[in-house]
């Protein structure tokens, strides 16, 4: 389904799709709003062409299982994992509002050494978790 077809749709009866954030090798990533909690979340949906691929489904599930084990302030929390009526899976994560490093560099140019080191250390701590 194209980005335009997803915007405004309800996912699993509780998440309103607000915008597409990106795509990856296994899924499409959307910013959504939980209808009952009034909270923004990030949803990753297993690509439709992979929904019938058992190995891809296992990898996607394994990704979600591993994500639930990570407890670190620099890593988004995984809140939910479920199956859609079309047999695809999706996972719901914390939405962390902010600017990506690439956007920051584009806007502000090279970062001062101290700021670059701080951002690098924070990213590495998240990866270490």
Residue 76 CA to residue 93 CA, distance in Å, equals 6
* pLDDT tops 70 at residue 3: no
Beta bridge partners of 87: none
Cβ burial of 51 (10 Å; 0-12, 13-18, 19+) is: middle
Write the pLDDT tens digit of every residue in 103-125. 888 888 998 899 888 888 888 88
Distances in Å between the Cα of 54 and the Cα atoms of 46, 47, 51, 61 are 12, 13, 8, 11
* pLDDT tops 90 at residue 63: yes
Return the ∠ at Cα 8 (arms to 28 and 38), rounded to 5°.
Answer: 95
- Confidence tier at 126 by pLDDT (50, 70, 90): confident
| pLDDT at residue number 108 | 87
Every domain range in the chain assigned CATH 3.30.200.20: 3-97
* pLDDT tops 70 at residue 12: yes
Write the pLDDT tens digit of every residue in 32-61. 999 999 999 999 999 989 999 999 999 999
Residue 124 CA to residue 47 CA, distance in Å, equals 29
- 3-97: CATH topology is Phosphorylase Kinase; domain 1 (3.30.200)
pTM reported for the whole predicted model: 0.81
């Amino acid at each position: 389904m194209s980005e335009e077809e997803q915007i405004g749709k309800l996912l699993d009866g509780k998440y309103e799709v607000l915008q597409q954030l990106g795509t990856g090798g296994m899924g499409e990533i959307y910013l959504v709003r939980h209808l009952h909690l009034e909270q923004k979340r990030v949803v990753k949906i297993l690509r439709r062409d992979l929904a019938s691929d058992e190995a891809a489904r296992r990898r996607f599930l394994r990704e979600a299982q591993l994500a639930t084990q990570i407890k670190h302030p620099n890593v988004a929390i995984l809140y939910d994992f479920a199956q859609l009526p079309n047999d695809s899976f999706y996972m719901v994560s914390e939405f962390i509002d902010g600017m990506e490093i690439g956007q920051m560099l584009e806007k502000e140019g090279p970062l001062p050494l101290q700021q670059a080191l701080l951002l690098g250390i924070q990213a590495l701590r998240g990866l270490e978790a």
